[in-house]
Amino acid sequence: MKLFDVYPLFPIEPVKATGSWLWDSEEKKYLDLYGGHAVISIGHNHPHFVEALKNQLDKISFYSNSVKNSLQEKLADKLGSLSGYANHQLFLCNSGAEANENALKLASFVTGRKKIIAFKNAFHGRTSGAVAATDNPKIVAPFNAGHEIVFLPLNDVTAFDQAIDNTIAAVIIEGIQGVGGIQVPDDSFLKHIAQKTKQAGALLILDEVQSGYGRTGKFFAHQHAGIQADLITIAKGMGNGFPIGGVLIHPDIKPWSGMLGTTFGGNYLACAAGLAVLEVIEKENLMANAKTLGDYWMKELRSHSSILEVRGKGLMIGFDLPESLAGLRKDLLFKHFIFTGEAKPNTVRLLPSLALTKSEADILLEALTIELKPVAAL
């Protein structure tokens, strides 16, 4: 049997990792500034994370959600405490797409409506409702296209006010758009849509799958705007590589048996991983580190005249390049052994571990000085 060939792959096979570093099958060492799409939040193979999973494996790894699992309650308590959402409820699942599916479903249940407002360049997943709310027609199959989704320009108050009314079930927005190229919603825009969404009787869904878990210097990116959301979706950095996702749910939304469900969501291993991540974020003060190093990187990146624009918060950064530098990401990987991400057409994305050190951050800056110098000299 062959693998279903849907992933464009680099000819690199990582076989070992620790902290912000990877080694491939040929023993080449790479600096990981992408974390497998913002997944590695506390560093590869963090000792506390590894120990928590090993210890749990020696006890019990799985049973379905038909029995009590106190690890789920411990995870919910810790998450509520660190995130500032102690009064919200937690539904555990397995991925960001699954989290967004359940958030959209809840909004429709609560409001009795089905129309959704999303935003241009949004990415919310590749499954049914999540992909319908993703602004990429190429990956939306006819089966997915029947959902009622209105796509609006990000940060356009006038367009939003014209679209929001009492037919809308939910407004879904990323704390910072990731796949869309690190597009940051204005604080004033987030405050405006939060107010107008509430007035329309709709629910506000904050997709923090990529931008959450301390990546921007606050636990959630939308907290920079001083707002609260009805539903918040999480995954990626939540498990530091172990599959886990969740939805934080407003306390006014009352559950009933069978309303949502999942076989694997909130299993023992996932909860052990999730707890370990939160404990490390807290103990090692990683949110402060994300802010400090993010501010440093953005200042230094803006000093390069050949970089067109730098956007982001904390350790979620994108910078735009001219067409003449479209090959920079590959040069960083194959000449300097640095993993980064991209967004079309020519944006480099930086999504490293929150435990990144300044000396590791400087390795990127040194590589950029080498690669951008010829362009700057022209």
| Model pTM score | 0.97
Quick one: DSSP state of residue 111? H
Q: Shortest CA distance to 205 belongs to which of 231, 224, 228?
A: 231
Q: Which residues contact 246 (CB under 8 A, 6 or more apart)?
A: 79, 90, 91, 92, 93, 99, 233, 234, 235, 238
Q: What is the pLDDT of residues 27-73, one digit of tens each?
A: 999 999 999 999 999 999 999 999 999 999 999 999 999 999 999 99
Q: What is the pLDDT of residues 190-240, one digit of tens each?
A: 999 999 999 999 999 999 999 999 999 999 999 999 999 999 999 999 999
Residue 36 forms beta bridges with which residues?
Answer: none
Cis peptide leading into residue 14 (ω within 30°): no
Give the whole-angstrom CA distance, residue 276 versus residue 325: 40
- Judge whether residue 375 has pLDDT over 60: no
Q: What is the pLDDT of residues 155-191, one digit of tens each?
A: 999 999 999 999 999 999 999 999 999 999 999 999 9
Tell me the residue type at 369. Answer: T
For residue 378, the model assigns a pLDDT of 45
Q: How confident is residue 374, by pLDDT bands cut at 50, 70 and 90?
A: low
CATH value of 285-348 in 3.40.50.620, 3.40.47.10, 3.90.1150.10, 3.60.15.10: 3.90.1150.10
Assign a CATH topology to domain 47-283: Aspartate Aminotransferase; domain 2 (3.40.640)
Q: Shortest CA distance to 278 belongs to which of 83, 55, 50, 19?
A: 83
Of the chain, the percentage scoring pLDDT greater than 90 comes to: 98
Strand order in the sheet with 309-313: 309-313, 316-320, 347-350, 341-343
Give the whole-angstrom CA distance, residue 175 versus residue 205: 10
For residue 373, the model assigns a pLDDT of 79
84-93 average pLDDT score: 98
Is 370 exposed, middle or buried (CB count within 10 Å of its CB: 0-12, 13-18, 19+)? exposed
Other C-beta atoms closer than 10 Å to the C-beta of 10 total 10
* Average model confidence (pLDDT) across the chain: 97
260-279 average pLDDT score: 98
Q: What is the pLDDT of residues 2-27, one digit of tens each?
A: 999 999 999 999 999 999 999 999 99
322-343 average pLDDT score: 97
**H or E element that contains 79:** helix 70-83
For residue 176, the model assigns a pLDDT of 98
Domain residue spans of the chain: 47-283, 285-348
For residue 377, the model assigns a pLDDT of 46
72, 269 in Cβ contact below 8 A? Answer: no
